Amino acid sequence: MVMMAGLLFMTVLVIVPFTLASARHVVVRSGRPGWLSRRLAARARPGSLGLGATATEELHALLNANKRVQIEQRQAQLTLRDDDHAGAPPRTGIDLDNGTAVLPPHR
């Protein structure tokens, strides 16, 4: 009975989200059906993990404390700003000596 509960737990947390994420990937890459592909592509945020990858990482973090530290470090890194005066490379600006202009990427 305990083994069956463990199998059900693993199925719900890992296999189902991974299967759904794989199906989503196939639909977006193939473009069929068109209406679903457009809707899924519009909802996707650049740089974000899918549901299957997130579930797999959380399960990995449950079993390995170092993975939890890695996930928290990644979240902290996303909240930090890159400032020019802090040594980060400039994102925008005009260099009159070289005659170049750097524009921010369109999002």
Could you read off the pLDDT of 38-81 as tens digits, one per residue?
A: 877 777 666 665 666 777 788 788 888 898 899 899 888 888 77
Q: What pLDDT, on the 0 to 100 scale, is given for residue 69? A: 92
Q: Say which residue, 6 or 105, is predicted with more confidence.
A: 6
d(CA 79, CA 61): 21
Q: Is 103 helix (H, G, I), strand (E, B) or coil?
A: coil
Q: What pLDDT, on the 0 to 100 scale, is given for residue 5? A: 83
As a whole number, mean pLDDT of residues 24-49 equals 76
Q: Where are the alpha helices (DSSP H) in the chain?
A: 2-10, 16-30, 34-43, 51-63, 65-79
**Dihedral sign for Cα atoms in the order 97, 92, 48, 42:** negative
* Tokens coding 39: 């809707």
Confidence check: pLDDT of 107 > 60: no
Q: Give the side-chain half-sphere CA count within 13 A for 40.
A: 19
For 48-64, the DSSP string reads: PPPHHHHHHHHHHHHH-
Q: What is the pLDDT confidence band of residue 36, given thresholds at 50, 70 and 90? A: confident
Q: Which residue has the tokens 């463990």?
A: 6
Q: Say which residue, 104 or 36, is predicted with more confidence.
A: 36
When the pLDDT of each residue in the chain is averaged and rounded to a whole number, the result is: 76
d(CA 49, CA 33): 23
Q: What is the pLDDT confidence band of residue 83, given thresholds at 50, 70 and 90? A: low
Q: Is 79 helix (H, G, I), strand (E, B) or coil?
A: helix
